[in-house]
Amino acid sequence: MPGLTAPSDYKQEPPRHPALLINSKEPFNAEPHRSALISSYVTPVDFFYKRNHGPIPIVDDIQRYSVSITGLIGNPKELYMKDIWKLPKYTVAATLQCAGNRRTAMSKTRKVKGVGWDICAIGNAVWSGAKLADVLELIGIPKSSQITPSGGKHVEFVSIDKCKEENGGPYKASIPLSQATNPEADVLLAYEMNGESLNRDHGYPLRVIVPGVIGARSVKWLDSINILAEECQGFFMQKDYKMFPPSVNWDNINWSTRRPQMDFPVQSAICSLEDVNVVKPGKITIKGYAVSGGGRGIERVDVSIDGGKSWVEASKFQKAGIPYISDSSSDKWAWVLFEAEADIPESAEIVAKAVDTAANVQPENVEVIWNLRGILNTSWHHVHVRVGRSSM
């Protein structure tokens, strides 16, 4: 593509913060430490998890960069950044979460396949750009459309990067046209993150943001948008990121029996403590995040210090000084941070679980949701604490 190129090797990777925990160097996949993740409601770009499937693309001429829109439409169009900048600019606070977040813990039950994420393959950012519904209106697709006159029902996003899973081809994914053309769904073609231009790791110059949906659908380094009759047939839609029952293994898997995962389930995790901790006697503060997909707010976060026998409700917030209300008056696509204080006996098993506004609650154990790709580990999050003479 003019203006944007995809390297075949890793010789021109961007700089990254040295404090990131690297799960894979090539392609680069990394997450922040737990304490850094919850230090602020808006995750700093440096500490936002990095999820890549190949070398990071390079912009050599932003003026020549364009996105082609083709497929089941009347008039294909080439959009340049100046065209996108002319559209109304919207800003949306939205949490992105890799479907493999907390995979390492699931793997302890039975081995799974995938990048070994701890609990920080998640972040909350303020994204700015044009609404996809406005962009599609430019090519004659009205807002709130279910189908185009030519039979288009899905919107596919194609990256410029090179993925081994696509045999060197680009990463791609799709969402339903009804979601893409719904202004309330807040799907963006984003060019800013936290008030600054996207950096290379996060999709510069242009990426898709699909709020409330697993991060795999928010395609970076956008090359083209295609209007299709069927959902995208790419690897990451058809042979990955699908939720299978515990009975399915690599010998009996049939990918076509499951739909591509879209919304993520209700999730929470404790970030102020490691898996095993030694603390000083007295009160400790338990902090973490909670989030649900599909724009559902967090109704409650429960915390236990006795392994789940008894519970207290944690306080929760988004922006400091503003009460969080679990409906549309708050940032509906964004996480909440929670906090609870507890007196710790000699040893304790601390547990957190969240409940969303649809009364969905995290499952108690990981065994019932185990799946061979290790996605969507939303089981209760446990950490262990014992009181010692010194803290670490």
- Interval 250-271: pLDDT, tens: 999 999 999 999 999 999 999 9
Q: At CA 27, angle to CA 335 and CA 95, rounded to 5?
A: 10
Compute the average pLDDT of residues 340-358. 95
Main-chain phi, psi angles of 202, to 5 degrees:
-105, 15
- Tell the residue number behind the tokens 């990095």, with chain if given: 50
Compute the average pLDDT of residues 83-109. 98
Compute the average pLDDT of residues 115-132. 98
Q: What is the pLDDT of residue 100?
A: 98
pLDDT higher than threshold 90 for residue 390 = no
Q: What is the pLDDT of residue 391?
A: 43
- pLDDT tens digit string along 6-55? 999 999 999 999 999 999 999 999 999 999 999 999 999 999 999 999 99
For residue 252, give both structure tokens.
């009996």
- pLDDT tens digit string along 267-279? 999 999 999 999 9
- Indicate if the alpha-carbon torsion angle 171, 176, 181, 183 is positive or negative: negative
Q: What is the mean pLDDT of the chain?
A: 96
d(CA 24, CA 10): 13
pLDDT higher than threshold 70 for residue 77 = yes
Q: What is the pLDDT of residue 191?
A: 98
List all residues 6 or more positions away from 51 whose beta carbon is below 8 Å from its beta carbon: 29, 98, 115, 121, 215
Compute the average pLDDT of residues 345-357. 95
Q: At CA 112, angle to CA 109 and CA 116, rounded to 5?
A: 95
Q: What is the CA radius of gyration of the chain?
A: 21
Compute the average pLDDT of residues 338-367. 96
d(CA 65, CA 76): 17
Q: What is the DSSP letter of 257?
A: G
Q: What is the pLDDT of residue 392?
A: 46
How would DSSP label each residue in 99-115?
A: TTTTHHHHHHHS---S-
Nearest alpha carbon to residue 128 among 74, 99, 96, 91 = 91
- pLDDT tens digit string along 128-143? 999 999 999 999 999 9
C-beta separation of 23 from 32 below 8 A: no
Q: What stretch of H or E contains 298?
A: strand 298-304
Nearest alpha carbon to residue 75 among 178, 130, 150 = 150
d(CA 341, CA 92): 32
Nearest alpha carbon to residue 345 among 381, 310, 385, 290 = 385
C-beta separation of 97 from 211 below 8 A: no
List all residues 6 or more positions away from 233 whose beta carbon is below 8 Å from its beta carbon: none
For residue 179, give both structure tokens.
């979601």
Q: Counting beta carbons within 10 angstroms of the beta carbon of residue 90, is it exposed (0 to 12), middle (13 to 18) or buried (19 or more)?
A: middle
Nearest alpha carbon to residue 381 among 121, 150, 118, 36 = 118
d(CA 354, CA 264): 13
Q: What stretch of H or E contains 237?
A: helix 235-238
* Residue 180, SS3 per DSSP: helix
